[in-house]
Amino acid sequence: MSLLDPLFRYAALDKLFSDEARIQGMLDFEAALARAEATSGIVPQSQAQIIAGKCRAENFDLSAIAKDAAFAGNLAIPLVKKLTELVAHGDKDAARFVHWGATSQDAIDTGCILQVRGACDLIDQDLARLSGTLVTLAEKHRATLVVARTWMQQALPTTFGFIVAGWLDAVSRHRKRLAEIKPRVLALQFGGAVGTLAALGGRGPEVAKALADELRLSLPSIPWHTHRDRIAEIATTLGLLTGTLGKIARDISLHAQTEIAELAEPIFEGRGGSSSMPQKRNPVTCAVVLAAATRIPGLVNTLLSAMPQEEQRGLGGWHAEWETLPDIVRLFGGALHHLAEMLPGLEVDTQRMRHNLELTNGLIFAEAVTMALGDRMGKMPAQLLVEAACKKAREQNRHLKEILREESRLRGHLTPADLESLFDARNYLGSTDEFIRRVVAEAREFPAMR
């Protein structure tokens, strides 16, 4: 099914996980193996070149390989058989060295890692773009007043720049995580039948080093056939990142509700409409991101569940990874790309934000009054006095400031000028500006850390 791909996925990243790309990843392993063994003197250079020359996906009938894989148990077995036949047509001696010393899992796992590496490049680009947009929004709106909400209820004043800085801070942590795990997870898989490289005698480590260099992958200390933490770490890292994208999308969609209307996704012809309601302006990107955030945790769980694999080759657990990891990367990549595309056009209604600050008749300033009053009469008496004033304000549908002006127990503690100051949202923003400055500065330093 591909009808929904433009909605949920990103075409450039999707291409990296096409059927052709999967086969090409395994063939890239086979070509590099022949070259590495030629470098080590095991395979004649001329024959390695012949093998590498046949390692192009267009030389293979993918439907035939798929059909044969249903009986063989994996794609590498029929692929290597067909590659050997192709090489033999030109040089029977060269055909002897196809897949020399390797096993199916070496080709499949390394091919997958090569696909993931390509995806990481695109993910890095979109994360950098997302981060840059969030930096711009945080700085532009560092003083834009908005209501902070807890338990879905109005709580205290904050700034929209502070909210965006929270998103940005999480994205920066994930960028660091991705940069940190790459040398560990983008690693060669090459161990032969049971991980010992016995077929290469004592030259296994030498060939593995040459192969890792050919493919520009990290060389692990030992083959990792049934130690699947690398695969699981890729999945869990993207799972964490998807959760943050979902947090951003959830916040935006809540702020975009008709009754709140503080934010809105950009609108143009054909975007966000309804088949029956002409007035609708649906947050399409938020829906896509939240769908990914709903689906990916279950897929991550599949890979975590697949980790305890049997002995030196997994039965079923390894097989469960083959579709699951690409699904995670593709769903995440689509959500990230769509969010990075949408956010530069995010509409911020600062007047509506200011309007919503006044909806509670000053109740969101109750903590500010309590803290100021607590300095003078003690925290608990102040808490009880302001609670009673809040109750009265609700019952009489009056502004809290008016109620407090009439409160005789405030006299001698808070002046009318004090009250005016306490009900100015700009005076109860705490350290928002400093927090925004720190987060933005750290985000801007990221390229230097790579």
Residues taking part in catalysis: 274, 313
Query: Which residue(s) pair with 263 in the sheet?
Result: 348
Taking alpha carbons only, the member of 188, 182, 211 closest to residue 100 is 211
Burial of 143 (0-12, 13-18, 19+ CB in 10 A): middle
Which one, of 310, 418, 329, lies nearest residue 372 by Cα? 418
Question: Given the structure tokens 């055909």, which residue do they identify?
Answer: 95
First-to-final CA distance of the chain = 38
C-alpha distances out from residue 1 to 6, 245, 338, Å:
12, 25, 20
Residues 6+ apart with CB under 8 A from 208: 188, 190, 197, 219
Helix (H) or strand (E) holding 138: helix 104-140
> Counting every residue, how long is the chain?
450
At a CB cut-off of 8 Å and minimum separation 6, what does 81 contact? 68
**Cβ within 8 Å of residue 159, ≥6 positions away:** 141, 142, 143, 144, 145, 146, 429, 432, 436
Strands 153-159 and 263-264: unpaired
DSSP single-letter state for residue 40: T
In angstroms, rounded to a whole number, what is the distance separating the alpha carbons of residues 298 and 385? Answer: 50
Q: How far apart (Å, rounded) are the C-alpha atoms in residues 302 and 211?
A: 30
Q: By C-alpha distance, which of 170, 143, 137, 138 is closest to 159? A: 143
Dihedral sign, Cα of residue 211, residue 217, residue 218, residue 220:
negative
Task: Please say whether the dihedral angle defined by the alpha carbons of residues 234, 235, 238 and 240, taken in this order, is positive or negative.
Answer: negative
For 152, residues 6+ apart whose C-beta sits below 8 A from its C-beta are: none
